[in-house]
Amino acid sequence: MLRVFEAFAGVGSQRMALRNLGIPHEIVAIAEIDKFAIASYEAIHGKVNNLGDISAVATEDIPDHDLFTYSFPCQDISVAGKQEGLDVGSGTRSGLLWECQKVIAAKKPKYLLLENVKNLVGKRHKANFDLWLEWLVAQGYSNYYQVLNAKDYGVPQNRERVFVVSILGEHEPFYFPKKQKLSTRLLDLLERNVDQKFTVDNTKTRALLAQINYVPTEEIKLNQIGNFEKLANPNKKFNDPQIGRVLDTMGICQALDTMQGGNRQPKILIKNATQKGYLEAHIGDGIDLSYPNSETRRGRVQKKCSHTLQTACNVGTFNGYSIRKLTPLECWRLMGFTDEDFYKAQALNSNSQLYKQAGNAIVVPVLEAIFSQLFQVEERRLQEVA
């Protein structure tokens, strides 16, 4: 039985992964201070021994455990954050990493797992990251780290995170899981009937759309605002007027045909700070809704995939007739959570809290791939030796 201590537990992503893999385990304790996350955790997993604030935990209160997960807050090292860092004694949220030293030094769990934003191994924070690894080596651990992207492990979300696996004492070398072919599209995870409140308002939509020789009127009555192919190829004759049509997202969608090739599928042009000036968004593509008035933002469209989820939902999609935000359920699906787990949390939380919990979590299928390598592959090897 694998005994686990989940620090900064959130809604229990690590526990979900172990459960899904069928690895026998016991959560001996968690450390979480967000009352909404705790409510979701216990709704999903049942009552738990919550030690609370990691900085206030006494080592004698920590049960013995085999796996310590300590994916500390990223606010102060994330590119989207304030970049206040994680220096020892800094007092920042990200600086809580150093509070984990007392847990590791006192309990010496066999396995450690850390997940955080890619920027942790970037130039600005690499010195602190290296200092942390050096301390772990002094404690007897071997460290393995790699940046993994959720879209390489079955989830249509472009989410890069650094993972660190540390193993105490003698052991077989650990290898991170190989990439998997992505067969699930963002479209596959979208709800079919979505409340109008998730539709992006007219002002924000106008700011996001690339304007190509078109000035919208005060009242938009026509759905088709132009033709991309005719603009790009003014001297070419088109027998089918549907080829290359550009739709305004605030009107009513035209009748759709089978659209079998020929560039007839509905699309909108989202402005992008490149020489071309735009990216095409088709049905089911991800759209970055952040800073709609920005003239320098790039990569606003992810093909068949979502952008990285954050604690506030600034990710949307094109559904054929409008741009809308992803729903909380869709965001939870993009973290690899089950609908059953979502509905348990939804009963206790507002949408804003559900978005936050998804953005703070770890993608479950990535954890499954790591735990499979760490525990199941090792178990099979031991069985073969025996």
Please state, in angstroms and rounded to a whole number, the distance separating the CA atoms of residues 181 and 301.
20
Q: Which long-range contacts (CB under 8 A, 24 or more apart) does 326-329 make?
A: 326/190, 326/198, 327/191, 327/194, 327/195, 327/198, 328/354, 328/355, 328/358, 329/191
Residue among 74, 100, 305, 313 flagged as catalytic = 74
d(CA 188, CA 261): 21
The answer to whether residue 253 is catalytic is no
- Secondary structure in 3-state letters for the chain: CEEEEEECCCCCHHHHHHHHHCCCEEEEEEECCCHHHHHHHHHHHCCCCECCCHHHCCHHHCCCCCEEEECCCCCCCCCCCCCCCCCCCCCCCHHHHHHHHHHHHHHCCCEEEEEEEHHHHCCCCHHHHHHHHHHHHHCCEEEEEEEEEHHHCCCCECCEEEEEEEEECCCCCCCCCCCCCCCCCHHHHCCCCCCHHHECCHHHHHHHECCCCCCCCCCCCCCEEEEHHHHHCCCCCCCCCCCCEEECCCCCCCCCCCCCCCCCCCEEEEECCCCCCEEEEECCCEEECCCCCCCCCCCCEECCCECCCCCCCCEEEECCCCEEECCHHHHHHCCCCCHHHHHHHHCCCCHHHHHHHHHHCCCHHHHHHHHHHHHHHHHHHHHHHC
What does the radius of gyration of the chain's CA atoms come to, in whole angstroms?
24
Residues linked to residue 112 through DSSP beta bridges, in sequence order? 68, 166
Annotated catalytic residues are 74
